[in-house]
Amino acid sequence: MRTLVLGIGNPILGDDGIGFHIAQELAKEIKDKNIDVKDTSADGLNLLELIVGYDKLIVIDAIMTEDEKVGEIYRLKPEGAGKPARSTVSPHHLNLATTIEIGKKLFAEQMPEEIIVFGIGTQQVATVTEEMTAKVKEAIPRVISLVLAELGYGKLAKASRVS
């Protein structure tokens, strides 16, 4: 079974970089020929091209919630990650749910069967900076543990990350 761990985000847009940074950390820890760890700032069809061909997909991305629980981690199914986008002025930016829906229609056989999204509540995603806000930064080790647990690296992760 081939798994892709994909961190999405733009590292120069503050908290939006959370997925990108976590993927970079995970890449150091995960050494398994059946698991690829990638970071990307892509969306829509670019994203689709990255995920086609895997059996399982774990996405790590920044989200904004109405509750504004910054730093909180949400485990979502892709259909929970935003309603499918309809008409938009500049529909380059398809959301994850739509991207996956398109993938299932165009490349049904090649889409991952299992998709899990770890969303991290963020605060500052439209300011050009490489710094993330404190609460979002604090979430990094917890997200790493959760992803490792998801991949069966659980015990090891818990032992080393109790702090």
Partner 1 sequence: MTRKIVIEPITRVEGHGKVTIHLDDKGNVDQARFHITQVRGFEKFCEGRLFWEMPVITARICGICPVSHHLASAKAGDVILGVKLTPAAERLRRLIHMAQIVQSHALHFFHLASPDLLFGMDADPAKRNIMGLIAEKPEIAIKGVKLRAFGQKIIETLGDKRVHPNAAIPGGMNKALSPDKRDEILSQVDDIIADCQFAIDLVKEYYAQHSEEAASFASFGTGYLGLVDNEGNVEYYDGKLRLKDSRGITLEDNVAPENYLSIIEERVEDWSYLKFPYYKKLGYPVGMYRVGPLGRLNVADGCDTPLANKEFGNFKKLGNNGVVQGSLYYHYARLIEALNAAEKIKLLVQDEIICSQEIWVNSSTINEEGIGVIEAPRGTLFHHYWVDTSGKIRKVNLIVATGNNNLAMNRSAYEVAKEFIKDGKVTEGILNRVEVAIRCYDPCLSCSTHALGHMPLEITIYDPDGNIRQVLRS
CB closer to partner 1, 10 vs 160: 10
Could you give the CA distance from residue 15 to residue 74 in angstroms, rounded to a whole number? 15
Give contact residues for partner 1 (rule: CB under 8 A). Answer: 8-13, 16, 40-43, 45-47, 49-50, 61-67, 74, 76, 80-96, 98, 101-102, 105-106, 119, 122, 125-129
Shortest approach of partner 1 to residue 3 CB, angstroms? 19
Q: Compare residues 53 and 152 and give the one whose CB is closer to partner 1.
A: 53
d(Cα 4, Cα 36) in Å, to the nearest integer? 5
Q: How far apart are CA 68 and CA 35, in angstroms?
A: 32
Structure tokens at 63: 């989200």
- Which one, 8 or 148, has the nearer CB to partner 1? 8
Q: Which two tokens mark 118? A: 């770890």
Maximal C-alpha separation, the chain: 48
CB of 1 to partner 1, least distance (A): 24
